[in-house]
Amino acid sequence: MSPSAQKAKGWLVGIAVLCGIWLVQNGPGGQIVPPQPSSAQAFAAGPQLQPGSPVAEPMDRSEPVRIRIPVIEVDAPMTRLGLAADGSLDVPPDENRNLAGWYGGGVPPGARGTAIVAGHVDNADGPAVFYALGSLTKGTTVEVDRRDGSTAVFSIDAIEVYDNDDFPDQRVYGDAPHAALRLITCGGGFSKETGYQGNVVAYAHLTGVR
């Protein structure tokens, strides 16, 4: 073998090593992130209730105590949330992986208006209560047990994902003439430097009471 051919093969080996290192560290699809909603789960033409889905009369106000989403095995107690100093919604304490929170300054789930519920997608130890929120589809049932003993039953109208810098406040937090529910968690892409790039938001409305 000529020295030049050997040299070429040496380069080839070097390049292969670099490719391998790149694949290990950060190649395309190098991370497995929590499930994200497909564009088919977004609103087709602006926010609207799922056609054909029943709309129940709003309930009296009563604090939520537990949230259940059977298809993704969510069954978690609920805590009351306030606002952070910057006006953003506070989040439940992140050391508890099975805890969701509802915005106590707004309406409780089941009452007329927009009830806001947030839960962690993960904490430092791994997946948390709303890890699989992004895998839900339109029509999924969400149940909220309330202090007065009743259960509010919701149906999902859409699931969308937004960039942190482009969060649609009015669309998510705005008032509603019926009993609306929003489920929010972290999502979008993930970067080691800046964390999750966005939020996954599930929109639902009250379809029944038990």
Interactions with another protein, residue window 35-64 (CB under 8 A)? none
Can residue 208 be called a binding residue for another protein (CB under 8 A)?
Answer: no
Minimum Å gap between C-beta 74 and another protein is 14
Q: Are 78 and 69 in contact (CB under 8 A)?
A: no
Closer CB to another protein, 33 or 65, in the complex = 33
For residue 70, the SS3 value is: helix
Residue 30 binding another protein, by CB under 8 A: yes
Q: Which of 87, 149, 177, 210 binds another protein (CB under 8 A)?
A: 87
List the one residue from 58, 95, 123, 141 that touches another protein (CB under 8 A).
123
Q: How far is CA 89 from CA 31, 36, 165, in A?
A: 28, 21, 15
- Rg of the chain (C-alpha set): 22
Q: Are 106 and 120 in contact (CB under 8 A)?
A: no
**Which is nearest to 184 in space by CA: 172, 168, 170?**
172
- Pairing status of strand 113-119 against strand 126-127: unpaired
**Nearest residue (CB) to another protein, 120 versus 138:** 120
Q: Is 21 in the site for another protein (CB under 8 A)?
A: yes
What does residue 72 show for φ and ψ, rounded to 5 degrees?
A: -115, 20
Which CB, 190 or 208, lies closer to another protein? 190
Give CA–CA dist 44/74, Å, rounded.
27
Q: Which of residues 149-178 bind another protein (CB under 8 A)?
A: 162, 164, 167, 169, 173-174
| Contact flag: residue 203 with another protein (CB under 8 A) | no
Containing 198, the helix (H) or strand (E) segment is strand 195-209
Chain positions contacting another protein, by CB under 8 A = 1, 6, 9-10, 12-14, 16-17, 19-25, 27, 29-34, 83, 86-89, 91, 94, 103, 105-107, 113, 116, 118-128, 130-131, 162, 164, 167, 169, 173-174, 184-187, 190, 192, 195-196, 198-199
